Amino acid sequence: MRHAKKTIKLGRKSEHRNLLLANQVCSLIAHNRIKTTLAKAKAVRPYAERMITLGKRGDLHARRMAFSFLRQKEAVRVLFAELGPRSSSRQGGYCRIVKLGPRQSDSALMAYIEFVDQPGAETKRETKGKTEKK
């Protein structure tokens, strides 16, 4: 039985999965929003929120822990210089997942994962060609 085993496997070996999740978090840090499958978005969210928490701490040990997971100096710099201070007033829940429709090619459920405290415009949901009648 898999009691208390929360790892989402994504059909990959552990090394491949860890690198995939680290790259997804780095892309999320760089672009503030990424489009991916729903399963990957749900797997990325805990890691992204943990990185934001480390960015809020801001000490040397937190920086080294973030670098050991992310493995990209630029992503760690952005995390500690911009994202950590921007989310300092929030207690948790730094990411949101916005579900989209299925992908055309293989019908995989797609979603946006994005930071809640984004600078600029609010999120606009994509509509599927529906228009309102007046």
Domain boundaries, the chain: 14-32+39-92
For residue 6, the model assigns a pLDDT of 87
Average pLDDT of the segment spanning 108-125: 81
CATH number of 14-32+39-92: 3.90.1030.10
Q: DSSP of 2-65, one letter per residue?
A: -TT-----TTS-HHHHHHHHHHHHHHHHHHSEEEEEHHHHHHHHHHHHHHHHHHHH-SHHHHHH
Q: Determine what percent of the chain is predicted with pLDDT higher than 90.
A: 84
For residue 130, the model assigns a pLDDT of 60
Residue 128 has pLDDT above 80, yes or no: no
Average pLDDT of the segment spanning 77-100: 96
For residue 2, the model assigns a pLDDT of 86
pTM comes to 0.85
For residue 63, the model assigns a pLDDT of 98
